[in-house]
A and B are shown apart, each in its own frame.
Chain A
């Protein structure tokens, strides 16, 4: 944790450009545990959502198996999300730079990144995604408990069952929307993004291009190198 974000390393293979550590080993491991869990929850959840997607349950061992593991994997995903909150939660507050960046979001959508105001380690889009998952997980976990132990809810408190169904479905749909955008952006859209979550590093050019304020801070903290 102490070295997080301030390590400048030279990668022989990258030639001229230096590499900056963006995600620590622990952050990356937790991220991929969360990803695998979410993917499982998505497949099984969509199987329970629509008869036309029920075949997805077959991919992970069939309906009963999927139903058995879905809540447990949900607990794992909740734990992973709270760990992410420990890693990144402190950096997810909205800043003035974010406000300026958000105003120019249409340039970001059009890939005109050079005309965007500079942002820190996470841009406001990433922060929104973070909070969407954070609050989404809280809702999904609580409503999920009610669906997990439906029969333990007394008959005269059955409104909890009815509420839980709608909350679980609603929160799931919102996070799925965010998940699609997140996966699209980090695999297809933004070069170097996916790699940063695998190797942990980004090129200095990448950092300058997308997260200028973060880059400046690291350069300040790091002893000048020739």
Chain B
């Protein structure tokens, strides 16, 4: 990222134009998950644990292949399995890799009160800084995808970092690296969007999934993790992917008009009381004792 400021603007003693000047560079990254080619092998789950140094926790058997019901503070990447019955009565095993969506308009960041506990990079990655986290859990309330998870022992919240440490070194996230089928892709947002649309078109035209489409929800101004779904009209079937996610209204109200109104009321109240004192002064008790100056 810091390299972007090292693009050359002028060169001394150089004939002609500056090489590379005016070339637009894409900074926004994106992970593409093609659910139609996912085989549910969980290599991405293991790679996530390995790279991020997370210990493996107990699995929870729930009559399915799914490792546990939801992501946890130390399990950021979880494939959600759903045996979905289609309209014609046939069964389909839907598999969706669930993790932080890295929203363009992140509800966690909007709700967070701690200075620098959540940051959004120019490349679109939303990252938690546990050093600054105070453990209030407001991000849990702000997230429309149920992603941030609280560690009750350390009082810190954790989630997928999109391997910001790897991306910063020019590497793809660990989950992408591990995927054996190539259902996971990583690149710039426009590239991934184009690839996703191509694949969705292919599914519609060649594989009979007439509702195939790309999941890049506009309610959070798009995400930096996008899906290709066989049936984009029913994202809920993919382990509860919200159809129209947005930052909760109460969080918007709280961080918007209510905060403005509250601040005006607080300052106005203090100013009002000061003005009252200046205008009317104290309420004095007229003690009828002659001598003055004794203790009240």
Chain A residues at the B interface, C-beta cutoff of 8 Å: 13-17, 47-51, 54, 57, 63-64, 66-68, 109-111, 113, 147, 150-151, 155, 158, 161-163, 165-166, 169-170, 173, 176-177, 180-181, 184, 188-192, 195, 203, 205-206, 209-210
Contact = CB atoms under 8 A, between A and B. Distances in A.
B141 interface: yes
Contacts of A110: 280
Interface in B241-296: 248-251, 253-254, 258-259, 262-263, 265-266, 269-270, 273, 276-277, 280-291, 294-296
B135 A205 contact: no
Contact of B266 (A13, A16, A169, A176): A176
A163 B250 contact: yes
5 contacts: A15-B289, A15-B291, A158-B146, A180-B273, A210-B283
Contact of A165 (B70, B251, B262, B284): B251
Nearest to A65: B134
B248 A162 contact: yes
B282 A190 contact: yes
B80 interface: no
A157 B136 CA distance: 19
B163 to A, nearest CB: 24
Q: Which 8 A-B pairs have the closest CB atoms?
A: A63-B134, A162-B250, A150-B137, A16-B289, A67-B134, A48-B113, A161-B141, A184-B273
A192 B259 CA distance: 36
Given A63-B114, A67-B155, A192 B285 contact: yes
Contacts of A188: 277, 282
Contact of A177 (B70, B265, B277, B294): B265
A155 B263 CA distance: 31
B150 A189 contact: no
B139 to A, nearest CB: 9
Interface of B: 70, 113-115, 132-138, 140-141, 146, 149-150, 155, 248-251, 253-254, 258-259, 262-263, 265-266, 269-270, 273, 276-277, 280-291, 294-296
Contacts of A206: 285
Given A47-B113, A49-B113, A49-B259, 5 more contacts: A64-B134, A67-B134, A163-B250, A195-B296, A205-B285
A47 B146 CA distance: 26
Contacts of A161: 140-141
Contacts of A163: 250
Contacts of B254: 165-166, 169
Contacts of A190: 282-283
A191 B269 contact: no
Chain A contact residues, majority secondary structure: helix
Contacts of A67: 134-136, 155
A166 B135 contact: no
B282 A209 contact: no
A51 B255 CA distance: 11
Given A151-B140, A162-B141, A176-B266, A191 B283 contact: yes
A14 B262 contact: no
Contacts of B276: 109, 184, 189
Contacts of B249: 162
Contacts of A147: 136-137
Nearest to A180: B269
A163 B250 CA distance: 7
B135 A64 contact: yes
Nearest to B154: A64
A110 B277 CA distance: 10
Most chain A beta carbons < 10 A, residue from B133, B248, B276, B281:
B276
A78 B2 CA distance: 51
A180 B272 CA distance: 10
Given A49-B262, A109-B280, A151 B137 contact: yes
A177 B269 CA distance: 7
Nearest to B149: A151
B285 A170 contact: no
Nearest to B148: A151
B97 to A, nearest CB: 18
A147 B254 CA distance: 14
Given A48-B113, A173-B266, A111 B251 contact: no
B296 to A, nearest CB: 6
Nearest to B261: A173
A181 B273 contact: yes
A16 B288 contact: yes
Contacts of A16: 288-290
Contacts of A64: 133-135, 155
Contact of A13 (B137, B262, B265, B295): B295
Contact of A111 (B114, B146, B283): B283
B248 to A, nearest CB: 5
